[in-house]
């Protein structure tokens, strides 16, 4: 995230741009107590031994776990 540089004097335009950047970044964050939909991203889980696994779902609804 790159916020606009601060100005020695108040600027409504800079403040609006800063708010816009923050709102766009916040929109892409996962929130607590809400459903999480991955979409095009991947769900990667790490085992205690450091192994990494990609979790997907088949068209039949079965979970598919692939070692990375």
User: Tens of pLDDT along the chain (68 residues)?
Assistant: 777 778 889 989 989 998 999 999 998 888 889 898 888 889 999 999 999 999 999 999 999 999 99
Q: Quick one: 5 and 32 in the same domain?
A: yes
d(CA 11, CA 49): 52
How many domains does the chain contain in total?
2
Given phi > 0 = left and psi -120 to 50 = alpha, else beta, which region is 38? alpha
43-46 and 52-57 as β-strands: parallel, antiparallel, unpaired? antiparallel
d(CA 65, CA 68): 10
* Spatial contact of 30 and 36, defined as CB atoms under 8 Å apart: yes
Q: Quick one: 11 and 27 in the same domain?
A: yes
Q: What is the pLDDT of residue 38?
A: 84
Q: Quick one: 31 and 62 in the same domain?
A: no
Domain that holds residue 2: 1-36
């Amino acid at each position: 995230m790159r916020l606009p540089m601060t100005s020695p004097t108040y600027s409504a335009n800079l403040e609006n741009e800063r708010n816009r950047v923050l709102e766009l970044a916040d929109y892409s964050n996962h929130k607590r107590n809400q459903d999480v939909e991955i979409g095009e991203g991947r769900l990667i889980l790490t085992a205690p031994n450091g192994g990494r696994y990609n979790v997907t779902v088949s068209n039949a609804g079965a979970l598919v776990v692939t070692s990375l």
